[in-house]
Amino acid sequence: MGRGFLYMTQSALAFAAMGALAKAAGRRLPVAEVVLARALVSLALSLVALRRAGVSPIGRRPARLFARGAVGALGLACVFYAVTALPLAEATMIQYLHPVFTAALAALVLRERTGAGLALSIAFGAAGVAAVARPAALFGGAAAAPLPALGLAAALAGAFLSACAYVAVRHLSATEHPVVIVFWFAWVAVAGSLPFALHDFVWPRGAEWLLLAAVGVAAQAGQVAMTQGLRLEPAARATALSYLQVVFAAALGALFFGERPTVWTALGGGAILCGTLVALRDARRAAGAARVAPAARPAGEA
């Protein structure tokens, strides 16, 4: 077993743990407080990284950095709300629509090349969400109770906003240091969540302080391990290994929250996985074609 495999497994486990910790903290605390705690940890770590790198936090395009931070912060709030409102496995599966959304947005906004498989990946993704959500209009009484509409909408919005953030990072990274991009996300998330957290502030009790801190630590651990894994593993294999997060999320949901994924959940997750893999395959083929016959395109990604 290679080190890259171990890093990607650690990353999947850390991100699944982040979702479980956010769900546990969100049982009593408002989502805005959980977002604020996550952002504060990221802000502290990014300030240390900025100092070590010796770069200015202002960046070259502050307006666009602010916009990327705002989109990322809103997406984070949607994801955290989704894990509190939905079973952990289902919320995690729907979040994995973001590669499909990213491929579509990159084609529309950045004019990146894409293949015919994009339509197929979108169809797989839509079918997967339908199976996971189990709307009564489609399934009637043939499936388990449908998921809460607001939680489902938050999960979909989180996946879409995550894709928007990735496209923005791709555009910004040609001129901005990666640590600067992370710093702007962190401080915008702190500034955006602070008023909401103060408005409905609930004073954490005992272990809730640890839960809030652990959300940020788990997110940072997942990011570091993922970076190491992507350095050591081919992109296709690393992407496949990242789906271990769904398995870990289902296990944590069953162990700590008494959640039991249904057959429809498994079928929907499989369809979403197929859609994501089709989108990634098309992206790799398009990238290969672009290297053979380079075309003018916007700035790249971080």
Chain position carrying tokens 């089709």: 278
Domain boundaries, the chain: 3-292
Backbone angles phi, psi at 259, to 5 degrees: -90, 140
Residue 269 and residue 275: Cα distance in Å, rounded?
A: 10
pTM over 0.75: yes
Residue 166 and residue 301: Cα distance in Å, rounded?
A: 8
pLDDT of residue 132: 76
Residue 278 and residue 96: Cα distance in Å, rounded?
A: 13
Average pLDDT, integer, range 185-189? 93
Residue 35 and residue 28: Cα distance in Å, rounded?
A: 14
pLDDT of residue 118: 66
Cα–Cα distance list, 166 to 17, 40, 83, 90, 118 (Å): 22, 21, 21, 22, 17
pLDDT in tens, 92-112: 888 877 777 877 777 777 666
pLDDT at 299 over 50: no
Question: What percentage of the chain carries pLDDT values higher than 90?
Answer: 34
